[in-house]
Amino acid sequence: MLIERAYGHLPDSDEFDRSRWPWTVPCVRQLLDTDGLRFTAPVTFLVGENGSGKSTLVEALAEAYGLDSYGGSAGYKYASSRTPSPLGRVVRFDATTEGRRMVRGPRVRRKGFFLRAETALEALRSEEAGKGLSVRVDHVSHGEGFLAAFRDKFHQRGLYVLDEPESALSFTSCLELVGILAQLGRTGAQVVCATHSPLLTALPGAEIVEVGEHGMRTVEWKDLAIVDHWRRYLADPNAYLRHIAG
């Protein structure tokens, strides 16, 4: 474990108007107005509906750690990097001794990776041109590019932040990612992943945080809404589709 708690406080400034996004998002308000978000397992999944704020959270956590907001490996500054988000600028960490060395030390000391869904392919091209991947990103499918990053980059003790990595992966590729995340957790790395996937969130020993109008709360896999919906849909698709395609 590297990060034990994420929290933050808004400066008294017009730039941080609490009546505007992202400060109005329930999970962001909870992060700033309460004890924050505590991490109790090497792998943490953030789960919630579209618009719940989970991607906003993981991006801010990546930025606060020092990962480039554009995505890619820790320790590198990309020419196309984006300005850190307002939330990323106010998030702070309670970290372990090893985590503090990475967060507070020079950029080259940080280890980890940020897979940001919107910019993943461009970031992977930068990885290819920089340290190199085992495949040419432009010569393989979207999912194969993701898998190359997971296989080649996810092997050091560090912080790995993922935003919906399942979006490009098949069922069997998701299973491979589960194995990679499990191995990272066993070797002392830490993973924070925003996802809609009941397959990924079933990883044994992972902590699952459900994000929504309530803010954030820890839940069991079997109690997740996405798990219930997938079970019902696969058992009887027409129970859903008759209201949509009928």
Determine the pLDDT at residue 217.
97
228 within domain boundaries:
no
* pLDDT for res 72: 84
CA 193 to chain centre: 3
Q: Assess if residue 227 is contained within a domain.
A: no
In a domain, 235, yes or no: no
Q: Is residue 244 domain-resident?
A: no
Distances (CA, A) of 206 to 98, 104, 127: 21, 27, 28
pTM for this predicted structure: 0.94
How many structural domains comprise the chain?
1
Q: How many Cα atoms occupy the beta-carbon half-sphere of 178 within 13 Å?
A: 16
Which range marks the domain in which residue 170 is found?
Answer: 3-219
Q: Residue 79's pLDDT is what?
A: 46
> Could you tell me if residue 129 is inside a domain?
yes
Within the chain, which residues score under 50 in pLDDT?
79, 129-130
Would you state the pLDDT for residue 145? 86
Identify the H or E element spanning 112.
Answer: strand 112-115
Does the CA dihedral 115-121-126-130 come out positive or negative? positive
Say what the pLDDT of residue 136 is. Answer: 80
Would you state the pLDDT for residue 69? 80
Give me the CATH number covering residue 47.
3.40.50
Tens-digit pLDDT profile for residues 107-149: 778 899 999 877 777 777 776 544 667 788 778 888 898 898 8
Tokens 């191995």 belong to 183
pLDDT in tens, 150-166: 998 898 999 999 999 99
Give the CA distances from residue 238 to residues 108, 224, 230, 243, in Å, rounded to whole numbers and listed in that order. 53, 22, 13, 8
